[in-house]
Structure 1
Amino acid sequence: MQNNSRGGTLVNPLFSTKQHVSPEWVDYNGHMNDAEYARAFSLAAEDFINFIGLDEMGRIEHSYTIFTLETHICYLKEAHEGEELTIKSHLLDTDAKRIHQFLLMENQEGELIATMEQMIMGMDQKEGKPAPFPEVVAKKIEEIYKEDAKREQPKQAGRRIGIRRK
C-alpha cells in the first residue's frame, strides 16, 4: 500500500484511492454536486499519474506530463457529506503515449455510484507536444494494463450520449 497526496490509501497491484466527500462539495440538494464528482475523479487521476511514476519528481526528471483529452462521467447514485469514496482504475487500452482509462467510484457499502471514462496523453514538456511515455513509466503502465486486461470490461465503458428512441 502507498499513500496518495491527500493522505488516502493506494492499493496494489490494481490501482485504487480513497477520498471523503467534503462539506464544500455538497450542493443545495444535499448531495455531492455533479462538478465535484469530476473533481473527485480528477484527484484520483492525479493519484494514478503519481502511481505510474509521474509524480512531481518524475515530471521534473523526465520533463514529461499528462494532459486529459476527453472525459465522460455517468452519475449512478448520490454521495453525501463525509462519505468515504473508493475510486478504482481499469485501463481499457494503451499505446506509446495514450491511456484509455475507466474509473469506478464506489461508496462505503461498495456500491458503484459513478464512473468516468477518459483518454489521457503524455506530453514532452520541452517540445510542448505529445511523446511516448518515459521507459520506466511505460513499463509500469504495461504491467497495470496486463492485469486489467484479465478483468471483465466495465459495462459502462464505451457509452455514448443520446436519446434512445423506441
Structure 2
Amino acid sequence: MDFNFQQTVPAAWVDYNGHMNDAEYNRAFSQATDAFIDHIGLDAAARSEFDYTIFTLETHVCYLQEMKEGQAFEITSRVLDYDEKRIHLFLSMYNADGELVATLEEMLMGIDVNEGRGARFPGNIEAVIAQLFEKDSGLGKPKQAGRTVGIKRK
C-alpha cells in the first residue's frame, strides 16, 4: 500500500538558473498529491460516484537541493494526521541517488461538491487513510514538518 510518484525534470521546468524552477516543484508535488488522492481510492470514477473532491487548504515547501533537466525523482508520502474530512500530508522528493531534495507539507480537505463545503470522506476512504496513518505514525515527525517562515534573530 506504499505510495510513490515518479517523474523526470522536463526542459520546460528549468529556469534561468539552470535548475528546476520553484513553481515546478509545486507542480510536481501537486501531481503527486493528485496521484495520492487516486491511491486512497478517490480516483475520477469515485469522485464522480460520490460527488466528492479534495481541496488543498495550505502548503509549505522546503527546497533542499537543486534538480536539473532530465534528472529523475521520486515522491513519497506520509500521513501525519487526519480526521473524518482532512488529511495532514507530508510529501518527500528524492533524486535518483536517494537524496532528499524537497518536501511539501499540506492540509487537504474533503469536499461535497453539491454542498460546496467540507464533508466526511465517503465509503471506505477514511479507513484507507487510517491504515496509512497507522503505518506512518511510528516514523516520527519529519524535520521539515511544522516549520514557519521567518528570520531567526540572535
TM-score category, normalised to shorter length = over 0.9
1:103 positional shift:
0.5
Please list, as runs of the form range in 1=range in 2, the aligned pairs for 1:1-166 lying within 5 A after superposition.
13-166=1-154
Partner of 1:9: none
1:126 positional shift:
1.2
Counterparts of 1:61 and 1:94, CA distance in 2: 23
Structure 1 ranges of 4+ moved more than 6 A: none
1:15 positional shift:
1.5
Counterparts of 2:70 and 2:51, CA distance in 1: 37
Counterparts of 2:118 and 2:79, CA distance in 1: 19
Aligned residues: 154
| Equivalent pair of 1:14/1:147 in contact (CA under 8 Å) | no
Counterparts of 1:63 and 1:136, CA distance in 2: 15
1:14 positional shift:
2.4
- Among all aligned residue pairs of Structure 1 and Structure 2, give the percentage whose two residues are the same amino acid: 55
Extract unaligned runs of 5+ from structure 1: 1-12
> In structure 2, the residue corresponding to 1:149 is in which secondary structure?
helix
TM-score, structure 1 length as denominator? 0.91
Counterparts of 2:144 and 2:19, CA distance in 1: 22
> In structure 2, the residue corresponding to 1:70 is in which secondary structure?
strand
Query: For the aligned residues, what is the CA RMSD?
Result: 0.7
Counterparts of 2:45 and 2:123, CA distance in 1: 15
Letter of the 1:150 counterpart = G
Counterparts of 2:124 and 2:45, CA distance in 1: 13
Counterparts of 2:145 and 2:2, CA distance in 1: 18
TM-score, structure 2 length as denominator? 0.98
